[in-house]
């Protein structure tokens, strides 16, 4: 019977690994529904950006309070996983605290650090729950977060609280059993935080304590494995995708728009400028701009799956602030939702992209994209360098160049810029007449 716990552990671990592999394959397929794009320039700058923004959370600290709370959870996530390594080895070998005899007093110090971080996570998660559900911070209560997004955010915080309580309860019951002379448990001197829970358990029998300790151990290890699968369905996928997302982020100056090579070559040919030509023309004419996710690049789709739904982009968007329907966060959520819909269609044997729907129209409206001022506030605000503006501009290009559906006022402005080199309908030679009038007034 002693092999049964190991067998159960192996089966749970293998099941979680299989499901995780299937989910990663599914997500990768969905991300590469986007067009191919090669991004490998300035590798040194890209590694630096990834280390500062994803690992160092540089942009988070523009808002110090949530940044500090998030940092506590982030550090705990990394450090406490070292204890999970011991859990895994104990599960494989059917041992208990295998590192304790090897590390001696250092092990107790490490456990106190783990417990401190567990308390820090508890405090931070409670604070985040209060911010979302009691204080109702504006950017966390907007319409696009209704339903699953709001539930997802609360669920993950509650799960983290329960997992931290499981660690503290396990340590508390473990030490009471060790102090009673149970040979299976290792007595550690000076576990501060879990010792505060001793009064809750001291009156229990050894059998009850063993049950609680083992239940907490199994709950934590199963919880960690379940959490690793759950985040592939959650906005918390950014825990992993933040790293490639920042590495592949746009390094060009914020105001520089990406021109379409087809249009650039056409203009160059009209002006007599040498163009980049290919011997073989494309098999089919490419689409100008983007109507659906297959018209976006795979980096754009990865941006959508990386979105933390924190709402910093929307809270900084001048169009949203003035009451327009545009929400950069919703744009990213819509791209992800469309990719998920297409992916599920493909898996079900249904038409994928040819399902009668499209990103533009069924998910994102013209009113939303037309409200964008192209100011890049959303790009600057994002803590992991997501670029909603790139998607908005590609959707607007499709409306302008394929549908000729831009507002009449815009068409007049475009015509004026083409003929008069300014948005206003007067000759370039008259552009500085207003300055002449000022000089005349100064003379008078």
The three-class DSSP label of residue 364 is strand
Taking the whole predicted model, whether its pTM rises above 0.85 is answered as: yes
User: DSSP for 55-81?
Assistant: IS-GGGGGSHHHHHHHHHHHHHHHHHH
More confident residue, 4 or 251: 251
The answer to whether residue 274 sits within a structural domain is no
The model's pLDDT over 207-263, given as tens digits with 9 standing for 90+, comes to 999 999 999 989 988 888 898 899 999 999 999 999 999 999 999 888 888 888 777
pLDDT above 90 covers what percent of the chain?
60
Residues 386 and 434 in one domain: no
**31/359 Cα distance (integer angstroms):** 15
152: in domain = yes
Q: Is residue 231 domain-shared with residue 89, that is, in the same domain?
A: yes
Residues 226, 142 within the same domain = yes
pLDDT of 1 reads 44
Give tens-digit pLDDT for 33-86. Answer: 999 998 989 999 999 999 999 999 999 998 899 999 999 999 988 888 778 888
Question: Phi first, then psi: what are they for 297, rounded to 5°?
Answer: -80, 160
Residue carrying the six token digits 């959707």: 395
pLDDT of 139-176, one tens digit each? 999 999 999 999 999 999 999 999 999 999 999 999 99
On whether both 221 and 334 belong to a single domain, the answer is: no
Q: Say if 268 falls within a structural domain.
A: no
- Separation of alpha carbons 368 and 83, rounded Å: 47
Lowest average pLDDT, out of 24-33, 263-272, 367-376, goes to: 263-272
Q: Are residues 372 and 430 in the same domain?
A: no
Let me know if residue 265 belongs to a domain.
no
Considering Cα of 61, then 67, then 68, then 73, what sign does the dihedral take? Answer: negative
> Are 427 and 335 members of one domain?
no
CB atoms within 10 A of CB 382: 27
Name beta bridge partners: 364: 360
Residue 63: give the domain boundaries: 4-36+44-247
| CATH number, domain with residue 14 | 1.20.950
Distance in angstroms (rounded) separating the CA atoms of residues 6 and 376: 54
Calculate the dihedral angle through the C-alpha atoms of 330, 333, 335, 338, rounding to the nearest 10 degrees. -120
Our count of domains for the chain comes to 3
On whether the CB atoms of residues 360 and 290 are closer than 8 A, the answer is yes
Q: Quick check: helix, strand or coil at residue 32?
A: coil
- CA angle (50, 138, 234) in 5-degree steps: 50
Same domain (yes/no): 376, 352:
yes
* Domain's final residue, options 195, 222, 247: 247
Question: Does 8 lie in the same domain as 92?
Answer: yes
Could you tell me how many helices (H) and strands (E) the chain has, helices first?
Answer: 21, 0
Name 196's Cβ contacts closer than 8 Å, sequence gap at least 6.
none
How does pLDDT run across 296-346, given as a tens digit for each residue? 999 999 999 999 999 999 999 999 999 999 999 999 999 999 999 999 999
Tell whether 131 and 65 lie within a shared domain.
yes
Asked whether residue 211 is domain-assigned, the answer is yes
Element (H, E) at 87: helix 64-93
Q: Is 426 domain-assigned?
A: yes
Looking at the fold, whether 156 and 26 belong to one and the same domain comes out as yes
Give the tokens for residue 177. 């059993």
Give me the pLDDT at residue 438, please: 77
**Cα–Cα distance measured from residue 108 to residue 97, given in angstroms and rounded to the nearest whole number:** 11
- Residue 259 covered by a domain: no
pLDDT the model gives residue 280: 54
CB 340 within 8 A of CB 301: no
Q: What is the mean pLDDT of residues 357-377?
A: 95
Helices 64-93, 105-133: crossing angle, 10 deg rounding? 130
Please say which residue of 247, 277, 301 terminates a domain: 247
Same domain, 213 and 307: no
- Compute φ and ψ for 413, nearest 5 degrees: -65, -45
- The DSSP string of 175-241 is HHHHHTT-TTS---S--HHHHTTHHHHTTS-HHHHHHHHHHHHHHHHHHHHHHHHHGGGSGGGHHHH
The CATH number given to whatever domain includes residue 297 is 1.10.1060.10
pLDDT computed for residue 421 by the predictor: 81
Looking at the fold, whether 53 and 179 belong to one and the same domain comes out as yes
Residue at 269 is within a domain = no
């Amino acid at each position: 019977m002693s092999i049964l716990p190991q067998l159960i552990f192996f089966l749970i671990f293998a099941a979680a690994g299989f499901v995780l592999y299937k989910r990663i394959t599914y997500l990768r397929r969905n991300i590469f529904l986007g067009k191919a794009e090669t991004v490998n320039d300035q590798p040194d700058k890209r590694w630096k950006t990834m280390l500062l923004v994803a690992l160092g959370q540089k942009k988070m600290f523009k808002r110090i309070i949530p940044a500090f709370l998030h940092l506590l959870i982030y550090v705990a996530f990394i450090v406490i996983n070292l204890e999970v390594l011991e859990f895994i080895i104990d599960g494989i070998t059917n041992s208990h605290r295998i590192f304790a005899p090897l590390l001696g007093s250092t092990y107790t110090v490490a456990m106190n650090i783990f417990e401190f971080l567990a308390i820090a996570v508890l405090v931070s998660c409670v604070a985040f729950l209060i911010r979302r559900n009691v204080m109702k911070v504006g950017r966390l209560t907007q319409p696009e977060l209704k339903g699953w997004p709001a539930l997802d955010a609360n669920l993950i915080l509650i799960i983290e609280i329960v997992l931290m309580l499981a660690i503290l309860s396990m340590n508390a019951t473990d030490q009471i059993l060790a102090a009673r002379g149970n040979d299976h448990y290792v007595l550690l001197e000076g576990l501060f935080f879990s010792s505060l829970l001793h009064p809750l358990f001291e009156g229990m029998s050894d059998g009850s304590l063993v049950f609680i300790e083992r239940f907490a151990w199994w709950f934590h290890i199963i919880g960690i494995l379940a959490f690793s699968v759950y985040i592939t369905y959650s906005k918390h996928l950014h825990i992993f995708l933040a790293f490639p997302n920042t590495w592949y982020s746009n390094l060009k100056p914020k105001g520089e728009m990406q021109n379409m090579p087809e249009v650039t070559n056409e203009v160059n040919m009209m002006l007599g400028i040498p163009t980049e030509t290919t011997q073989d023309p494309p098999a089919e004419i490419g689409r100008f701009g983007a109507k659906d996710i297959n018209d976006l690049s795979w980096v754009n789709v990865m941006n959508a799956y990386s979105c933390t739904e924190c709402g910093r982009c929307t809270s900084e968007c001048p169009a949203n602030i003035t009451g327009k329907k545009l929400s950069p966060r919703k744009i990213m959520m819509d791209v992800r939702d469309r990719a998920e819909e297409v992916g599920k269609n493909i898996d079900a044997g249904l038409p994928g992209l040819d399902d009668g729907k499209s990103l533009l129209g069924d998910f994102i409206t013209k009113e939303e994209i037309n409200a964008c001022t192209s100011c890049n506030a959303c790009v600057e605000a994002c803590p992991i360098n997501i670029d909603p503006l790139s998607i908005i501009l590609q959707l607007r290009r499709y409306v302008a160049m394929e549908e000729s559906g831009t507002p009449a006022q815009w068409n007049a402005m475009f015509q004026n810029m083409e003929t008069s080199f300014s948005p206003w309908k007067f000759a370039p030679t008259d552009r500085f007449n207003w300055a002449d009038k000022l000089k005349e007034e100064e003379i008078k």
